[in-house]
Structure 1
Amino acid sequence: MRIITLNLNGIRSAAKKGFFDWLALQQADIVCLQEIKAQSAQLTDSLFYPQPYHCYYHEAEKKGYSGVALYARRQPDALQMGIGWVDIDCEGRYLQAQFGDLCVISLYMHSGSSGEERQALKFSFMARFLPHLQELRNKYQHVVICGDWNIAHKPIDLKNWKGNVKNSGFLPEERAWMDKLLTETGYSDAFRVVNPSAEQYTWWSNRGQAWAKNVGWRIDYQIISDNLQAHVKQAEIYTTQRFSDHAPLLIDYAF
């Protein structure tokens, strides 16, 4: 099974850059997308419902903002649009699908880089989300949470870590939260199961020559229940083409 996750930074923009042509060649079973920046009424073209997928969109109330999507070859046994928290669901940040004993989530966690208010909301979400993840772990045999988590976990996960220890996305509190997630709640970072290498990034600032110099951050993850570690066979960050300021993360599972 191949699962892909990508923050599109605008689905219509990514489409113009060839995203759907590329996707058609990937033979993915499930595709999780974030920051679609579009309302359903703006996605009526068949391009946004590629075959052979069942396509689901959870949009933000604010136009041109946030929103997540999930495509699946198999129709889900159950679908949950939103997490059930008004402040989160109005921004379209969570979409959950169940396939038998497998639960897959498309997640777009907040960025706190725009100011203290947004960082406070991010911390609030994190505090509520950890117990929710524990509940999922108890409810489903297998769990995969795909998305833009807006946190670089360790110094290996961003180029200039020393200069970012006071910046959102690499704050000590955020990294400690990721530590707890990955050591105490029964979850693992699927990419690191098979790839321990440095300079593996999924996002690059549009400022300066960040992309050209590979000055990036690894903030897009597939976080999996621990019992899936042995099923992770291959992980790739695709950088040959650019559809967004993020890169697609492709992981192949043997199940």
Structure 2
Amino acid sequence: MGFRLVTLNLNGIRSAATKGFQAWAEAAAPDCMGVQELKAQAEDVAGRFETVAGMAGYFHHAQKKGYSGVGLYSRHEPSDVIRGLGIEAFDAEGRYIELRFDKPGRKLSLISCYFPSGSSGEERQQVKFQFLAAMLPHLQALRTEREFILVGDVNIAHQEIDLKNWKGNLKNSGFLPEERAWMTNLLADGPSGGGLVDVFRRLNPHPEQYTWWSNRGQAWAKNVGWRLDYHLATPALAATAQRESIHLAERFSDHAPLTIDYDFTL
């Protein structure tokens, strides 16, 4: 059986729909799909995107129209749905949704998360740092209670291998030393670390594995990309990961879908 989990930044669910993402999802047949950057309100989703590929959708919308927003589509009904981190500034931007699938002897969560981008300027970069500062203890605490996989657009390329032009981006948001150090710590064991696993990198150590390409210039044509989309899992779930794939045959947004097959069932 196994469990197929997809993450995809849609860069607008209505835009991605015109480019065929629903038909792709039907063919890919995931058990669950995390989506980010819905850029849609509840009324925009109603009657159009409540279900995709036979999966029911659960959403955390931003208050601002046409901005941010995350969702999780699932074939399995969750035991609980948690929208937001409980931090007003971030929750207003629709950045976090968690589905819990608990049963006797097991607590398991799937999370879709959209980390802020700092590329528009210093003010948003500071918001991004504040978000990172809040997320680490949140995930550390969650890990003491349950197994989970967080999927989403983290807006950080961790290592030099994770972007084409690393030398030219050392001072740019998404590859700043502080952001990379945060990611290193998230993946570190020990009392101050997050203890999580970058599941894609465990399966695929090769260069030029990107999930996002700028719309400027010839970035897509020349594969000048960044790996910004992740599956971040607790070690026991990460150990069940078997196969990964980045879908490059079609483009639904400036990000590519990242699929990982796990050997567990809900």
The yes-or-no answer on 1:168 pairing with 2:177 is no
CA contact (8 A) 1:82 1:94 kept: yes
Question: Residue 194 of structure 2 corresponds to which residue in structure 1?
Answer: 185
2:207 to 180, 193, 198: 198
* Residue identity opposite 2:96 in structure 1: Y
Question: Residue 250 of structure 2 corresponds to which residue in structure 1?
Answer: 241
Q: How many residues align?
A: 254
**Shift of the alpha carbon at 1:52?**
2.3
Q: Following the alignment from structure 2 to structure 1, what is the Cα–Cα distance between the partners of residues 122 and 186? A: 24
TM-score by length of 2: 0.94
Runs of 4+ in 1 over 6 A off after TM superposition: none
* Residue identity opposite 1:193 in structure 2: R
Question: Residue 81 of structure 1 corresponds to which residue in structure 2?
Answer: 83
* Residue identity opposite 1:28 in structure 2: P
**Shift of the alpha carbon at 1:48?**
4.3
Question: Residue 215 of structure 1 corresponds to which residue in structure 2?
Answer: 224
Percent of pairs identical after alignment? 56
* Residue identity opposite 1:71 in structure 2: Y
Question: Residue 33 of structure 1 corresponds to which residue in structure 2?
Answer: 35
Question: Residue 131 of structure 2 corresponds to which residue in structure 1?
Answer: 125
Q: Following the alignment from structure 1 to structure 2, what is the Cα–Cα distance between the partners of residues 36 and 185? A: 28
**Shift of the alpha carbon at 1:226?**
1.3
Any unmatched runs of 5+ in structure 2? Answer: none
* Residue identity opposite 1:34 in structure 2: Q
Q: Following the alignment from structure 1 to structure 2, what is the Cα–Cα distance between the partners of residues 48 and 174? A: 34
2:163 to 158, 166, 170: 158
Secondary structure of the residue aligned to 1:25 is: helix
Q: Following the alignment from structure 1 to structure 2, what is the Cα–Cα distance between the partners of residues 129 and 48? A: 28
* Residue identity opposite 2:109 in structure 1: C
Structure 1 residues 49 and 145: alpha-carbon distance in aligned structure 2, compared to 1, 3 A threshold: same
CA contact (8 A) 2:241 2:262 kept: yes
TM-score by length of 1: 0.98
> RMSD between aligned alpha carbons?
0.9
**Shift of the alpha carbon at 1:50?**
2.5
